[in-house]
A and B are shown apart, each in its own frame.
Chain A
Amino acid sequence: MKQRPQFRTIATVAFLSLFLAACSGTDTKEQEAAAAAAAEAQAAAEAQAAAEAAAAERARAEAAAELRRLEDAARMAGNVVYFEFDSSALTEAGRAILDKQVALLKKTGASVRLEGHTDERGTREYNIALGERRANAVRDYMMVNGIPGSRLESISYGEEKPVSYGSSEVSWSQNRRVEIK
């Protein structure tokens, strides 16, 4: 779009050159040569600009595609990591999920809340402490993998916010978790 006025200028310059050449008759050849060189230089500059723009566009598209890919990967992995009973040790599966989340966080530079939860067994206040230990395990893993601690906040709800309300291992295993929000 930008190039159109320039083409008009070139056309005007070329026309004027020809007109002047026809009128004067003496320096015609030199003027013709100069005009041709100018037109050539102009064309080359334009081609380069267009190429650069295309490259930038390509890079932008690639970055967007990369972000989309990271977002998709993070979404596929999920934003919840699960824990064993009375444990704050990250599992293999948990680390795999966090790797995807860390890759995305590195790209976006976003800050997140790490919400620690436990199952209903044991006392409420002890479980709040256990939930914080889980959230901190996730925080420490993310920090080791390059996310600054200033972008990570651990909050523990203990057993106060279950996602599954039953009193069996099926429910409990879903409730022992850290949500990355």
Chain B
Amino acid sequence: MKRSLRRWVLSCLFMLAMPVRAELVIEITQGIDNPTVIAVSPFAWQGVGLPPEDVAYIVENDLYRSGQFTPVARENMLGTPSRDEDIFFRDWRMVNAQYLLIGSITPGAELVADFALYDVLKQTLVIQGSERAPTSDARMLAHRIADRVYTALTGIPGAFATKLLYVAVTPVPGEKDYYELTLADSDGARPKVLLASREPILAPTWSPDTKEIAYVSFETSRPAIFRQNLTSGAREQLTAFRGLNGSPAWSPDGKRMAMVLSKDGSPDIYVLDLATYQLERITRHYAIDTEPTWMPDGKSLLFTSDRGGRPQIYRYDFVTGLTDRVTFEGSYNARARVAQDGRNVVLVHQQDGDYKIAVYDIETRRMTALTSTDLDESPSIAPNGSMVLYATKQAGRGILAAVSVDGGARFNLPARSGEVREPSWSPYLPKRP
């Protein structure tokens, strides 16, 4: 076993050339009441020719998608200032803008964006700053500016400069479906296929440092857990046990991985030490124990179990070795994911026969349904805890959708073609030096 555990497979070169079919499209369906009106004036480009991206447009869309902002349409702008001295606040009050963001981009060894955010009513500067990125990464530059604006105006850290993983499925009539494990920006842009297969791929998840991912692939005709380095593309098959090999979940310190194996009979939770490959069995129950997820402090695990008859969320405490039941409301609560605050748990909750996404407050034990559709699953929470990305069905087709944790904002992310499922929102990307 150990040798096979350490088997590294370099197999990703061919994937770089793959065409991407499952690009996501954003459809905003609901914003909060009285959103903040912000005007993002087109950023000035200090180079020759055309800028690599319309940075202001990306910033504007990020803020709009959060549901908390309404951008001023460009055709309504009475001017497009990019310098402090060109601003006429009266012009912005006339289009009801509460805030104004201006900026300019200078090319060089790297792109440098200088930006400034103003309060239109008070006619004061809120923040100003600059961001740098390689020319090929102008979109990430825009997302980082959006994060800084969002943080300044809401007090909550922004999570636009993050990534998404999802599985795109293209049905092929008369043949097996075509699965593509895909990586994209948080707005669905720049999709890149990491793995393509004719056999199912599921449960993609991130390492805490965002350098690696893990997932379950049936490519060997049996389920197996793989890890894959996002930079080098190197893959390692971590498990090949008889029976289930599923639900990989990295510990917050990145050193261990929780998973589900049924090699000893029924599905139980195990923890694999990623340095020594020692496997520790966590649960021993004849019922189904599955879908482990770590609490942010790494001291306990939440998991789904039907040991009480129906699937409910339980918690295993590494310190005491005890297991206790967490959810009681409703006949089906499964696949929990915990926000960084260690308090809000998003999960799949059955209500009136429908499978919905709900948020459960561990402290007050209050369950709140966030969606009103059916067949909602695979919730994944943004690293700032503000939005939940999940999979649902729209007119019989699998799409991704997002809802804010307060239920106020919603948007859909269908693929241009085919189906998409199993979203996984990345942790914060490491800060650039």
Contacts and interface: CB of A to CB of B under 8 A. Distances in A.
B243 A126 contact: no
B138 interface: no
Contacts of B262: 129, 132
A132 B242 CA distance: 11
B332 interface: yes
A128 B246 contact: yes
B267 A123 contact: no
A160 B422 CA distance: 12
Given A132-B244, A132-B267, A124 B203 contact: yes
A154 interface: yes
A100 interface: no
A125 B375 contact: no
A125 B291 CA distance: 6
A133 interface: yes
A154 B222 CA distance: 10
Given A132-B262, A161-B200, A124 B332 contact: no
A133 B396 CA distance: 28
Contact of B378 (A121, A123, A128, A154): A123
Nearest to A157: B200
Contacts of A166: 396
Contacts of B311: 122, 126
B223 interface: yes
Contact of B243 (A132, A157, A160, A167): A132
Binding site of A, secondary structure by majority: helix, strand, loop or mixed?
mixed
Contacts of A157: 200, 218
A163 B242 CA distance: 25
A122 B290 CA distance: 13
B239 interface: no
Interface in B284-328: 288, 290-291, 304, 306, 311
Given A121-B355, A154-B243, A126 B334 contact: yes
A155 interface: yes
Interface in A97-152: 120-126, 128-130, 132-133
Contact of B290 (A125, A153, A165, A167): A125
A175 interface: no
Contact of B377 (A123, A129, A133, A160): A123
Given A160-B202, A165-B396, A167-B393, A126 B304 contact: yes
Interface of A: 120-126, 128-130, 132-133, 153-157, 160-161, 165-167
25 contacts: A120-B375, A122-B332, A122-B348, A122-B355, A123-B334, A123-B348, A124-B202, A124-B378, A125-B246, A125-B247, A126-B335, A128-B223, A128-B246, A129-B246, A130-B288, A132-B244, A133-B288, A155-B221, A156-B244, A161-B177, A165-B171, A165-B396, A166-B396, A167-B374, A167-B375
Name the 3 nearest CB pairs between A and B, nearest first: A160-B200, A129-B288, A123-B335
